[in-house]
Amino acid sequence: MLVSYNWIKEYVDLTNISPDELAEKFTLGGLEVDGMERLGQELSGLVVGEVLTCEKLEGSDHLNKTTVSVGEEILPIVCGAPNVAAGQKVVVAKVGAILPGDFEIKEAKIMGETSHGMITSLDELGFSDSIIPKYAEDGIFILADGAEVGVDARPYLGLDDTIIEFDLTPNRADALSMRGVAYEAGAVLDQTPTFEEITVIEDDSDSVEDYMSISVEDPEDTPVYKMRLVKDVTIGESPIWMQHKLMHAGIRPIDLIVDITNYVMLEFGQPLHAFDYEKLDSNEIYVRRANQDEVLTTLDGQDRKLSPENLVITNGEKAVALAGVMGGANSQVTEKTNTIAIESAIFKPVLIRRTASQLNLRSEASSRYEKGVNYATAQSAVDLAAKLMAELGGGTIVKGTAEAVAKEAEDTVVETTIDRVNGVIGTDLNADDISEILSRLAFEHTITEGTITANIPPRRWDIEIPEDLIEEIARIYGYNNIPVTLPVTESTPGELTAAQKATRRVRELLEGSGLQEAISYSLTSPEKATRYSISEGDMVRLQNPQSEDRVALTQNLVGGLIDNANYNRAHQVTDIALYEVSHVFYKVSEEQFDEYTHVAGLLTGESGKSWLGEWEALDFYTIKGLVEVLLADYSFAEDLTFKLATDRLGMHPGRTADIYLGETLVGYVGQLHPTDTKENDLGDTFVFELSLDQLVEADKEAITYTALNRYPGSSRDIAILVDETVTHQALEKVIQENGGDYLQNIHLFDLYDGENIEAGKKSIAYSLYFANPNATLKEEEVNAGFDAVKQALIDRFNVEVR
Amino acid sequence: MDLKTKLEELAQTSVTRIEESTSLKDVENLRVQLLGKKGELTDLLKMMKDLTKEERPVIGKLANEIRDDLTTKLADKKEELEEEALNKQLQEETIDVTLPGRTVKKGQTHIIHQVMEQMEDLFLGMGYNIIEGSEIVSDYLNFERVNVPQDHPARDMQDSFYINEHYLLRTQTSAVQPLVIEAHDFTKGPLKVISPGKVYRRDSDDATHSHQFHQIEGIVVDEGITMSDLMGTLEVMSKKIFGADRVVRFRPSYFPFTEPSVEVDVSCFKCNGAGCNICKKSGWIEILGAGMIHPNVLEMSNVDSTKYSGFAFGVGPDRMAMLQYGVDDIRQFYMNDQRFLSQFSKEGAE
């Protein structure tokens, strides 16, 4: 909403209040000012001139040679405008004048003629194309005859004003009108706004009943419909003061009738529509829902196919307007129109909202209807419009208003108590304080024995419940005058849940290992959403995606990390180490969606060469090490196992392990499939993903302290030759099971399958540490354990002990 | 030459020989040569048997003195040479300490999560708990239960991603409010919770819009909670995040789920209120919205709004981080360019 400072000044006294001060008061009072435009401030050297002579410039097909009086002097000016003529009052930019864009006017020689300045158009004066009236689009702007030659031209252009731009919250639609803004100004400035009384001079010889009757299908849809008739109107341009007000509000002046309806809408917030009465071709207006597939040609020439979702104005038979949104072409006012029928109505906001968005026809009128309008001024608005048409268009007003009114304007009574007011705000206001504030808001009220009864006028339809009224009191009292305290409550322990602690711990561990945390998009393509998931399940898809590559909610975080790695590579970042903790999503049914917290990591690239000459290539065991660090953070009750996963989508079939906790799959770790790697323009890439939820929720063992062993233990090494297919995990398990009570630790210290090793075999070596916490271990005891291990390995895996 | 003279001579020459030795090996050899079982001193002492009874103790004493003296001198020499060798070794081991250290890689928390963690810690300290909630919610929870009925103009403010007719990606962390309030047992004390997390709006991504971003919602419900309490809480938070020297101001605003509603500005941290491009020349930067929880929201969550009152506030960590660090493109947060992420790894000045 764009609001003219000068217009507000017509209603309240702004003698000592600058536009800035007013804006600040509005903002702190709840009408947020988003910007201020000081019109004409950057312009200078503009004066009113009178064209004395004007003749064609010889040798040019469009230039004119003029002399223009600017009071003290007469300037020769060459002007290219087609509409320039002697006798006109015009806006002259003298030599040295500054026009928008810091454009300075200089003396010029044009085809041998000296030009001492420029006669200007609205466009050159900085008016936006969207608001310049049609008649002023081509050529210079012509001022009224009465303009005083030689004086500053800016006031004649309305450029002595400041425009305040509001960013209104949806509840304050009352401020979509100048009168609403005036009431607000009155409240924040502690003044009573004054409005000129609207006196309608009617033609008593005629009665509206003879011309028009109104009926509505459903009073819920159309609680108020009023119509006045003005006969014998001459339709020309509207007066310049009205055009300025419209342009300042961002509305282009069109002609007298359109301008009046817009002007009244700006003043009252009540949208109006003007019909050509004769074209209605009926003495009746009937408002109803459109029929299915009913077609109406709207003012913009478009055929609109309607449905019962839309409300139409009809002449009893056919639609003549789309209620609250746009008029029909069949009843359009033109220059030939003689009798104007002015509609002032209130429609159900939802209907207008739906229709406007369905047909993509948002307008100043529809946006006001959507947010509600003031029931109290439907009559005043139609009165003012009729009055202006009579005064400015020479028409006569038919006596009376045709109407169908189902809902009268009435005050809303809101009751609360002084205690409640102070209880909510935290203040210590008494009855007098509150009464003073309510008076500033111009709300009639009584306060008796602590009970406040306020009559809220219809112009503030946003106030319905005590809390609304309390907010009014608080904002006029001043939010920044409210004492500042902290809640005094029973003290509560603020602590992280196990899952929250786990997330923080994961961050510490992974960041300590050199990974940077990423936050990727949850929405992705269906392909990526499922490709790297720990387990399969139904995908959650959007009904109304915004773009093709963000259609589904991801089931995995690895996919996002791959995207990130790809982005980094494209930006010459080659050494990539990322992790993420986020939600993944599964659809269970149309009413149930599961969300789990996962953690995933990705490593790719090379550490780069250092001056030290060393360089450690990444491999499966690097990322597995990370996973082991994460898993080692929990003392799970069940065993963790890694199993070769040969058919995980997107993963290397020989270098990927599923991770099980007991029988439950909790994640995977491995190398990205070479195809995926290539597709994403990456080198060897290693990833893992774990279900953090499952890790957190899994059964844990209590941590028990074991006294440190005071007796020396002893180590025995065993090197074996075994089939390549036998896993370390399997060997370790057999060693563990057969090593006896004193076997404390198994350490893999060598693995070799190179030269001198039979094909299909590998050499693997463990160091076994035996100790007895209660006595010095005897040689025989160690031997017994060690021999048992040896035998078991031979029995189970047919190993050769080296 | 008598034995005494021989001994004295040995003592004499030995001292010179010790002094002239240049390596630990020389010293050791010399020790064996002089004092060993077959050493020169031992040899001379073998001649003691030829001495008279009177001479023996005298020469014996002399010999002992010489032995002690040489032992000491050898030890001294050894120590001296050892020290020399150590010094030499240290000298040789000197390196260029200005060469860079071996790389130990360090990651860091994403800047958005840093901002969120800072808030979490602040509120944990004030006795709040953290409840994240789910990102897929019913439209009933996301809208109806926070007082945004169907066709409410406020639904215009946010276009949402729908999954089906009744479920959508939450557009605000306020969607967590209703369940949290409903589930709370007020006989066990006040409700004090913050809800950080992702939210989604159906926006086209550009420098200032992201279809995915973050919010932190705060809720307090108890008997006698006032706007004063809300403002005090917001002031503590604003100053914690943007600095103690910021001025905080409150403006009336509108949110469907709060009444009265508040918007909070802090004095611009770039221009300090003078007006610049960050604050759009106003001197103030809008940082969050808040208000007293609407009685409808409390009642719908089965809380007696005549007995209990509460406040709620919502902050956007993305916006905060953008403001604080001058990040001019919100998409940077979700591209995860490591050159971007790693800039926020250092503990900066407060």
pLDDT digit string, tens, across residues A109-150: 888 888 999 999 999 888 888 899 888 888 899 998 889 999
A624 & A588 share domain? yes
Quote the minimal CA–CA distance from B89 to chain A in Å: 22
Quote the minimal CA–CA distance from A434 to chain B in Å: 16
pLDDT class of A618 with cuts at 50, 70, 90: confident
Q: What is residue A401's predicted lDDT score, i.e. its pLDDT?
A: 96
CB within 8 Å of chain A, chain B residues 91-110: 99-100, 102-110
Cβ neighbours of B129 in A, within 8 Å: 492, 494-495, 497
Select from B115, B159, B163, B306 the residue whose CB has the most chain A CBs within 10 Å, as the one to mutate to test that interface: B163
Residue B227 tokens, joined: 């706007």
Cα distances (Å, whole numbers) of residue A693 to A71, A583, A697, B312? 85, 10, 6, 29
User: Domain boundary at A387, A405, A423, which?
Assistant: A405
Contact B289, B256 (CB under 8 A): no
Q: How far is CA A40 from the centre of its chain?
A: 33
Q: What is residue B52's predicted lDDT score, i.e. its pLDDT?
A: 83
Residue B1 has pLDDT above 80, yes or no: no
The closest of A109, A117, A61, A116 to A93, measured between CA atoms, is A117
Cα distances (Å, whole numbers) of residue B290 to A55, A417, B63? 67, 24, 101
* Longest CA–CA separation in chain A, Å: 132
Cα distances (Å, whole numbers) of residue A10 to A5, A29, A548, A573? 9, 21, 54, 64
Of A514, A523, A610, the CB nearest to B106: A514
pLDDT class of B265 with cuts at 50, 70, 90: very high
Select the more confidently predicted residue: B105 or B263.
B263
Considering the domain boundaries, does residue A490 fall inside one? Answer: no
Q: Is B203 on the interface with A (CB under 8 A)?
A: yes
Q: What is residue B242's predicted lDDT score, i.e. its pLDDT?
A: 85
Contact flag A468-B112 (C-beta cutoff 8 Å): no
Residue B193 tokens, joined: 């919770």
The closest of A234, A230, A226 to A334, measured between CA atoms, is A234
Contact flag A568-B337 (C-beta cutoff 8 Å): yes
Residue ranges making up the domain that contains A672: 498-697
What rounded mean pLDDT belongs to chain A?
93
Q: What is residue B156's predicted lDDT score, i.e. its pLDDT?
A: 55
Of A172, A490, A567, the CB nearest to B337: A567
How far is the C-alpha of A317 from the C-alpha of A390, rounded, in Å?
30
A314 & A389 share domain? yes
A472 & A590 share domain? no
SS3 (DSSP) at B226: coil
Supply the CATH number for residue A453's domain.
3.30.56.10
Residue B155 has pLDDT above 70, yes or no: no
Cβ neighbours of B259 in A, within 8 Å: 465, 467-468, 470-471
Considering the domain boundaries, does residue A705 fall inside one? Answer: no
Considering the domain boundaries, does residue A492 fall inside one? Answer: no
Quote the minimal CA–CA distance from A561 to chain B in Å: 9
Contact B175, B137 (CB under 8 A): yes
Number of domains in chain A: 6
Q: What is residue A615's predicted lDDT score, i.e. its pLDDT?
A: 65
DSSP-assigned states of every residue in B335-348: H--HHHHGGG-S--
ipTM entry: 0.87
Cβ neighbours of B166 in A, within 8 Å: 591
Residue A610 has pLDDT above 70, yes or no: no
pLDDT class of B277 with cuts at 50, 70, 90: confident
Question: Over pLDDT 90: what percentage of chain A?
Answer: 78
Give the pLDDT mean for A214-234.
96
Q: What is residue B90's predicted lDDT score, i.e. its pLDDT?
A: 92
Contact flag A591-B113 (C-beta cutoff 8 Å): no
A113 & A30 share domain? no
Q: What is residue A608's predicted lDDT score, i.e. its pLDDT?
A: 57
Q: What is residue B131's predicted lDDT score, i.e. its pLDDT?
A: 95
pLDDT class of A571 with cuts at 50, 70, 90: very high
A153 & A166 share domain? no
Q: What is residue B154's predicted lDDT score, i.e. its pLDDT?
A: 57
What rounded mean pLDDT belongs to chain B?
89
Residues 6+ apart with CB under 8 A from A787: none
Supply the CATH number for residue A87's domain.
2.40.50.140
List helix spans (H) across A615-771.
620-631, 674-679, 692-697, 728-738
Select the more confidently predicted residue: A774 or B221.
B221
Residue B69 has pLDDT above 80, yes or no: yes
How far is the C-alpha of A436 from the C-alpha of B122, rounded, in Å?
40
Considering the domain boundaries, does residue A486 fall inside one? Answer: no
Of B249, B292, B337, the CB nearest to A571: B337
Q: What is residue A213's predicted lDDT score, i.e. its pLDDT?
A: 96
Residue A244, Cβ density class (10 Å: 0-12 exposed, 13-18 middle, ≥19 buried): buried
How far is the C-alpha of A628 from the C-alpha of A206, rounded, in Å?
95
Question: Over pLDDT 70: what percentage of chain A?
Answer: 99
Q: What is residue A411's predicted lDDT score, i.e. its pLDDT?
A: 96
Q: What is residue B96's predicted lDDT score, i.e. its pLDDT?
A: 87
Considering the domain boundaries, does residue A680 fall inside one? Answer: yes
Considering the domain boundaries, does residue A671 fall inside one? Answer: yes
Q: What is residue B346's predicted lDDT score, i.e. its pLDDT?
A: 64
A167 & A136 share domain? no
Residue A361 has pLDDT above 80, yes or no: yes
Supply the CATH number for residue A683's domain.
3.30.930.10
A544 & A646 share domain? yes
Quote the minimal CA–CA distance from B350 to chain A in Å: 22
Residue A299 has pLDDT above 70, yes or no: yes
Quote the minimal CA–CA distance from A298 to chain B in Å: 25
A150 & A178 share domain? no
Select from B216, B221, B338, B347 the residue whose CB has the most chain A CBs within 10 Å, as the one to mutate to test that interface: B338
Contact A390, A230 (CB under 8 A): yes
Contact A22, A5 (CB under 8 A): yes
A357 & A445 share domain? no
CA distance between the termini of chain A: 90
Contact flag A595-B342 (C-beta cutoff 8 Å): no
Considering the domain boundaries, does residue A760 fall inside one? Answer: yes
| pLDDT tens digits for range A495-510 | 999 999 999 999 999 9
Of A487, A577, A611, the CB nearest to B229: A487
Of B102, B164, B229, the CB nearest to A590: B164
Q: What is residue A607's predicted lDDT score, i.e. its pLDDT?
A: 55
Residue A138 tokens, joined: 């081509």
Give the pLDDT mean for A54-62.
86
pTM recorded for the entire structure:
0.86
The closest of A137, A164, A141 to A153, measured between CA atoms, is A141
A300 & A177 share domain? no
Q: What is residue A614's predicted lDDT score, i.e. its pLDDT?
A: 62
How far is the C-alpha of A324 from the C-alpha of A97, rounded, in Å?
46
A454 & A503 share domain? no
Cα distances (Å, whole numbers) of residue A141 to A84, A85, A124, A157, A241? 9, 12, 10, 9, 15
Q: What is residue B43's predicted lDDT score, i.e. its pLDDT?
A: 84
pLDDT class of B165 with cuts at 50, 70, 90: confident
A575 & A678 share domain? yes
Residue A783 has pLDDT above 60, yes or no: yes
Cβ neighbours of B162 in A, within 8 Å: 542-544
| pLDDT tens digits for range B202-233 | 988 999 899 999 999 999 999 999 999 999 99
Considering the domain boundaries, does residue A568 fall inside one? Answer: yes
pLDDT class of A774 with cuts at 50, 70, 90: confident
Of B109, B292, B341, the CB nearest to A507: B109
Which of A187-191, A539-543, A704-708 bottoms out in mean pLDDT, i.e. has the lowest?
Answer: A704-708
pLDDT class of A627 with cuts at 50, 70, 90: very high
pLDDT class of B347 with cuts at 50, 70, 90: low
Of A349, A483, A489, the CB nearest to B222: A489
Residue A226 has pLDDT above 80, yes or no: yes
At A778, give phi and psi (nearest 5°). Answer: -90, 150
| pLDDT tens digits for range A670-721 | 999 999 999 999 999 999 999 999 999 999 888 888 888 888 889 999 999 9
Residue A233 has pLDDT above 60, yes or no: yes
Q: Is B55 on the interface with A (CB under 8 A)?
A: no
Residue A32 tokens, joined: 């947020």
Quote the minimal CA–CA distance from A371 to chain B in Å: 7
